[in-house]
Amino acid sequence: MSDDPRSFHKPVRRPAEMLDRLFSAEDPAEVSRVAHATAVALLSRVREQPADGAVDRLVSFTDQHGIDTIAELWSRSPAKSLPGTLWRIYLLQLMVHDDARTAALLYERGRARLASADDVVAGAPTPAGPDELVSLSDEILRGVFSGDFAVALERAASFCRVEAAGAADLADDHDHTEPDRATAFTARALRLTTFAEDLGAAAALWRRDALT
């Protein structure tokens, strides 16, 4: 993954590091209130009037502003909440944009390793190179704001499972020759697996009108 801070207009924390980063807060209740209020307001307004320009701006937001602005709003929210879910979708998108080559490698390795429908649900073409993975991550995020929200979350969950399988496969490759790299891929596989579980649960909650 590239460490060049010029990749963003605002130099920010790297997305892979933020997968499991925890933030402190002087007033957790207020942070939670603001996170939920902003998530509900943003999603409701755009989904009620999904103008192409508004959706495009939200899809490209992290490319222009980095991840810190969104992190300050939503990253401390519970995984199975609306702001926590939006945070995970944005972080997945930024991880692909930040290192599309690695994302594509993991996806192709995961596709070959998994015996499931996750590749079909995620919706990547065959083969899926860096450009295709960037387009897929944008398409999933676009679905959050202008499509079936639960379907978008299910696609994201499947995407995470494919990527996790690819990361685990690469970890096995490097286990004896590059143990540090193997450890890093194993950690990524575990985090992506957790993300898949969180997003799948959030999709089920949304279908029951219980994701708040």
Task: Examine the pLDDT at 163 and tell me if it is beyond 60.
Answer: yes
Is residue 15 included in any domain, yes or no? yes
Structural domain harbouring 175: 5-207
pLDDT tier for residue 68 given thresholds of 50, 70 and 90: confident
Q: Are 182 and 167 in contact (CB under 8 A)?
A: no
From 190, 167, 98, 109, select the one nearest 137 (Cα to Cα). Answer: 98
Q: Structural domain tally of the chain?
A: 1
Q: Are 46 and 149 in contact (CB under 8 A)?
A: no
- As a whole number of angstroms, the distance between CA 93 and CA 142 comes to 11
Is residue 82 included in any domain, yes or no? yes
Instruction: Tell me the three-class secondary structure of 29-69, residue by residue.
Output: HHHHHHHHHHHHHHHHHHHHCCCHHHHHHHHCHHHHHCCHH
pTM score? 0.83
- As a whole number of angstroms, the distance between CA 173 and CA 159 comes to 21
- As a whole number of angstroms, the distance between CA 32 and CA 34 comes to 6
pLDDT tier for residue 2 given thresholds of 50, 70 and 90: very low
Is residue 17 included in any domain, yes or no? yes
- As a whole number of angstroms, the distance between CA 27 and CA 19 comes to 23
Is residue 105 included in any domain, yes or no? yes
Number of Cβ atoms within 10 Å of the Cβ of 15: 22
pLDDT of residue 24: 45
What Å distances lie between residue 159 and 47, 85, 136, 180, CA to CA? 23, 15, 9, 25
Q: Are 186 and 167 in contact (CB under 8 A)?
A: yes
Is residue 128 included in any domain, yes or no? yes
Burial environment of residue 119 by CB neighbours within 10 A (0 to 12, 13 to 18, 19 or more): buried
Task: Examine the pLDDT at 45 and tell me if it is beyond 80.
Answer: yes
Is residue 212 included in any domain, yes or no? no
pLDDT in tens, 101-138: 999 999 999 999 998 999 999 999 999 999 999 999 99
pLDDT of residue 26: 54
Angle, alpha carbons 34-59-185 (nearest 5°): 90
* Mean pLDDT, the chain, whole residue set: 86
Q: Which amino acid is at 26?
A: E
Burial environment of residue 33 by CB neighbours within 10 A (0 to 12, 13 to 18, 19 or more): exposed
Is residue 52 included in any domain, yes or no? yes
